[in-house]
Structure 1
Amino acid sequence: MARPHSISRTLAALVLLALAVVLLASLGRWQLKRADERRATLHTIEAGRVQPPLTLGADVPPAALTPWRPARAVGQWRDDLTVVLENRNHDGRPGFWLATPLVLDASRNVAVLVLRGWVARAVPGQPQPPFPPAPPGEQMASGELVTHVPRLFELWGMGAAATLPPRLPAPDGTFPKVQNLALDDYARATGLTLVPAVLQQLAPDAPGLSRDWPQPSVDYNQNQGYALQWFAFAAIAAIAWLVVLVRAWRRRRAASPD
């Protein structure tokens, strides 16, 4: 007859292996979901970039503001309302993004927020050089539309994050530095009526500014490969569960009388 402790160990092994099957299969399904999300992102980017360039104006219909669509705008920069986005790396180098509004209609205070480019952070121990100013007068900016300023994860437990001042421009004339910037918050602080999209300005680069923007990760094949691995691990755990069950059944039959 099988010993009690042998039965308890067998039951524990069966429970653990069953949990492993469920967990590993769930991880595989999650990777498939991530693959679908990345495939959808790739489709959105490709669909936006094949559209004809959009000229932004005060009365541009929101339906035309397709993400990743080429766009251009003519207006005057409000360099005094520039916001500096911190912790934006480029080719492994720390730096900043400069976000400046381009006023499309001064009479109605309508503007589009433009990501003008990346600026390198000064070497530790050295003062930060002045940020490149936006040129005066009527200017044209061209690039691609995105729905919002790309966000960075904020570790709230590591200390208070810098917040946007309630009113801009700042009284001391400095550019506020924040980690993330929401269009609604920026519109309230500046009093501007913003086009509900952000223009990422593209090449050519300006003096002191790089416009090689990071792109969303769209390698869905990688997620599908990870999903296959997790499902393989789940299958191994399921086979192990069957082996333990069959061996326990055989031991029980061998120990029981005819």
Structure 2
Amino acid sequence: MTPQQPAPRMKAIVALVLLVLLGAICIGAGQWQLRRAHEREALLAAIETGRRAPAQVLDAQHRDGPDWHPASTRGHWLNPFTVLLDNRNLKGKPGLWVATPLALQDSPGTAVLVLRGWIARPLPPATLPDLRAASGVMQVHGTLLHRVPRMFDLGSLTGQPDTALPTPFPTADGQPPRMQNLPLAALAAATGLDLLPVVLQQAPTEDAALIQDWPGPSTNASQNYNYALQWFSFAAIAWIAAGITAWRILRRASSSSTA
């Protein structure tokens, strides 16, 4: 009797190993989706807690606060240090965020960066309107964040992110620079200001025809739970197939030994 060729058995063993690995990878992907769901649930809880919290007052002595909490401060706008944040869409329409530091009334050398609002990106030959904020001491209300919300920047993959402000700043022509992202450290270095470690996302108000409609972070945890269920289902299918393959290998081995 001709002995069984090893090739089919080896192929079955390789298939078994691959199926087990595939199932493990799917389990890992499902667990990652569960972690993302928990992170989004925690974020949603923090946002809701912040919205219910009493407003904080920012000044030279009270420089910080939790994300998503309401806050207010008094001071005057530093219009020459305005920066435009590009690629900020609103309801599918391309536009810009206008960010201007506000020098605190009780400490003029100290400032907080305020995201003042959104404006549509003008199509050439149109130009931007006058974006200068009102002069004098202003009371500004908004929501606290610890950084300007970031957009994906291809430069971050090459080690050259789009975060450099022009030199000198303000520019000679007085036009606000456009950037993809704006770290607070970069603005502080370019302006010499003592910036608070928070950003104030301005509440709806009349300010140079800007729109204060801020997109929040995604908090849809149910989507992640659905993805996790799909990955766990794929893992179950892979491991069931692995079990069937293992049973066939053992049956063939038993048949060969009794032949």
* Matching residue of 1:183: 184
Distance 1:219 1:236 in 2: 27
* Matching residue of 1:147: 146
Deviations 1:81-129 (A, max 9, x none): 1011111111111111000011113754111110000110113x43322
Q: Is 1:129 the counterpart of 2:131 in the alignment?
A: no
Give the match's secondary structure for 2:126: coil
Relative to 1, partners in 2 of residues 1:66 and 1:117: Cα closer, same or farther, differing over 3 Å? same
Name segments (4+ residues, structure 1) moved above 4 Å: 157-160
* Matching residue of 1:233: 234
Asked if structure 2 preserves the Cα contact closer than 8 Å seen for 1:2 and 1:252, the reply is no
> Which ranges of structure 2 fall in alignment gaps of 5 or more residues?
none
Distance 1:241 1:163 in 2: 54
Give the aligned CA root-mean-square deviation in angstroms: 1.9
* Matching residue of 1:120: 120
Distance 1:257 1:198 in 2: 77
* Matching residue of 2:10: 8
Deviations 1:120-152 (A, max 9, x none): 0113x4332224220111111111111110111
Which stretch shifts more, 98-107 or 86-95? Answer: 98-107
1:1-258 to 2 correspondence within 5 Å?
1-62=3-64, 65-105=65-105, 108-123=108-123, 125-156=124-155, 161=162, 163-204=164-205, 206-257=207-258
Deviations 1:3-59 (A, max 9, x none): 211111101111110110111011011101111211121122122222101122121
Distance 1:105 1:167 in 2: 26
What is the deviation of 1:257?
Answer: 2.3
> Which ranges of structure 1 fall in alignment gaps of 5 or more residues?
none
Alignment TM-score, normalising by the size of structure 2 = 0.92
Relative to 1, partners in 2 of residues 1:106 and 1:53: Cα closer, same or farther, differing over 3 Å? closer
Letter in 2 for 1:29: Q
Alignment TM-score, normalising by the size of structure 1 = 0.92
Distance 2:216 2:163 in 1: 25
Deviations 1:199-227 (A, max 9, x none): 00011354531111010111112111111
Distance 1:102 1:11 in 2: 68
Deviations 1:169-192 (A, max 9, x none): 222211111111111111111111
